[in-house]
Amino acid sequence: MLLHYSGPVITLLGVILGAWGTLLMCRPYHPFSTWGIVKHLSWIAKQVLAGKLQDARDAIREAEAFSTINPENRYRTVAGVYLLVFSFAVQTIGAALILVDMIVHKA
């Protein structure tokens, strides 16, 4: 039972760590807060799905113009790189556990 759930949960944790690390690495390049970037990405996705590609491009251009708001914090950027690399290791462990579970519980 533990093996059955540990692989997916650990893999999901690795994905979340990877997303967080990527956000830290890219922080100087967008003018948004952490939740602001999620809202902006969601808005962009809605525009693309609705076929409003030009509106999405315009919004990205406007966001790019404001990217000088956040000066680069090299410590945060490097911490993001380390977190991203660590997330790959966590995802690999999760994937290995999923494979072991598949082999052990062959039906």
CB 27, CB 70: distance < 8 Å: yes
Distance, CA of 83 to CA of 20 (rounded, Å): 8
CB 40, CB 96: distance < 8 Å: no
Mean pLDDT of 25-48: 85
Q: Domain ranges in the chain?
A: 1-30+70-107, 34-68
Q: Is the dihedral of CA 75, 76, 80, 86 positive or negative?
A: positive
Out of 37-46, 58-67, 71-80, 83-92, pick the least confident: 58-67
What does the mean pLDDT of the chain come to? 88
Mean pLDDT of 51-77: 84
